[in-house]
Amino acid sequence: MQLSEQELIRREKLNQLRELGIDPYPAEQYMVDATSASIKQEFSEGKKVVIAGRLMSRRIQGKASFAELQDSEGRIQVYFNRDEICPGDDKTLYNDVYKKLLDIGDFIGIEGELFITQVGEKTVLVKNFKVLSKTLRPLPLPKQDADGNTYDEFNDPEQRYRMRYVDLVVNPKVKEVFVKRTKIMNVIRDFYNDMGFLEVETPILQPIPGGAAARPFITHHNTLNMPLYLRIANELYLKRLIVGGFDGVYEFSKDFRNEGMDRTHNPEFTVMEMYAAYKDYNWMMDTTETLLEKVAMELHGTTKVELDDKTIDFKAPYKRIGILDAIKEHTGFDLYKKSEDEVRAAAKTLNIAVDDTMGIGKLIDEIFGETCEDHYIQPTFIIDYPVEMSPLTKKHRSQEGLTERFELIVNGKELANAYSE
C-alpha cells in the first residue's frame, strides 16, 4: 500500500524517538489519577494530577506552548514550558520530542499541576510527559479560515460508518450515543430484574430459522455435517422457557437477516425481547410505557426528549388507537370487515403500489405504512390488528376479526411490537 507523505514523515519520527531511547509503545501501565472532567469539576489550584490522552491541538511559541489533551471524558488545556519540563541543561524532551517528534493524535501521559490562566481557563502546567503511543496516520481534523469557513470535516456518512473509531475521535458527540445506549440497556435490565424476570441467552446458531419471516444467513457445521442458520429472531427459544415453567424471561439478542439495508434496517441488529406468563396485551402496554418513561427520566431527567426539531414526551399513559381506526382517520376508508378486493381497490385509490401476491393483511399493512405511520410523532400504541395480519395472535375478546396485538410508534417509526399469544 502506498503511504502518504504524512505517514512517511510520522514513521521517520517514530525511528527518531527510538534513536533517542524512547519506546513509542511502552508496555507498562501508566497510572492516571484524574480525567479532563474530574479536573474541571473538582478544580483546586496547585493540585498535582496525572492524566493521559490524545494530543488534539497545540500552539507553540518558542519555549512555551498551549495544547489540548482529549481523554474519554472530554478535553483539557495543558501548558508546556521548556524550563518546567527540562530544568537542567538538557532540553531534548521539549525542544526535540515535544516540538518536533510529537504529532496531533499521539497519546501522551502528563504529570502536572493545576492553575488558571489570565483569561480564566482551567489548565494543567506540565511538569513531565511521556509518549504512550505514536500515531502513524493523521487524524482528519477540521480547519477554519479567517472568515470562519470550515474545511476537511470528517462528515462523509459512509466514511464515518466504516471508520467509526475515527468518527469517535474527531466528532466527540458520537460518543454520547454509545454511552446512552449502555445506560438504556442498564435501565431496562434493572427494570425487569426488579420485576423478578430472568435474563437469559438463547442459541444464535439454529437448525431452523424461526420466529419471523426473513431470509437467514446460512453456515455449515462441519462436525455434524449439517446446515445451520444465524437466528432471525430469538422468539421460539424464549417461548420454550415459558413452557418450561419460567413466569418471565427477557434477552438482549443479536439477530441477523440477510436482506436489504437502509437507515433503519441493518443485517445485524440488537433487539430486546420479553415474554411473560398469564398476562395480556393491556398489561404489556402498561409495562412498556412505564419502562420508556423510566428510561427517559434516567437519561435526561425529564420525560421530554428533543429529536429532529421535535419534542417527544414519553410520559405515560400513551394514546391507543386501533389500526383500522387510524386508517379511517387519515384516509377516510373504513376497512373493517372489507373483502380483499375492496381493500385492494382502496389501496389503488390511495396510489399505493400493490400486486396480486399481496393478501389482505399485507395490503392493510401497506396502507397504514404509507398513509398513517408518519403522523404518529408522540408515543402511540396502534392496536387491534386484523386476524389476517397476525394469525398466531389470540383473537380479540370482543371484536370479531381482530386480534390483541399492538405496535408502539414513536416519531413515525415502530419501536415495539407485542401480542397476547
pLDDT tens digit string along 352-367? 998 888 999 999 999 9
pLDDT at 261 over 90: no
Instruction: Please choose, from the candidates 129, 71, 141, the residue with its C-alpha nearest in 3D space to the C-alpha of residue 104.
Output: 141
pLDDT value of position 141: 79
pLDDT value of position 64: 95
Percent of all residues in the chain with a pLDDT value above 90, rounded to a whole number: 84
Please report the domains of the chain, with CATH numbers, ordered by start residue: 5-133 (2.40.50.140), 143-170 (no CATH), 171-278 (3.30.930.10), 285-420 (3.30.930.10)
Mean pLDDT of the chain: 94
pLDDT at 232 over 90: yes
- What is the bridge-based pairing of β-strands 319-322 and 380-383? parallel
pLDDT band at 170 (very low <50, low <70, confident <90, very high): confident
Assigned C-alpha cell, 70: 482529549
pLDDT value of position 186: 98
pLDDT value of position 173: 85
Which of 119-128, 136-145, 278-287, 395-404 has the least mean pLDDT? 136-145
What's the mean pLDDT in 149-174?
A: 84
pLDDT band at 260 (very low <50, low <70, confident <90, very high): confident
Q: What are the Cα distances from residue 419, in Å, to 18, 95, 244, 310, 352?
A: 65, 69, 20, 29, 27
pLDDT value of position 80: 97
Assigned C-alpha cell, 368: 397504514
Q: What are the Cα distances from residue 170, in Å, to 38, 71, 338?
A: 21, 12, 56
What's the mean pLDDT in 209-238?
A: 94
pLDDT value of position 155: 83
Percent of all residues in the chain with a pLDDT value above 70, rounded to a whole number: 100
**Residues ≥6 apart with Cβ < 8 Å to 370:** 350, 352
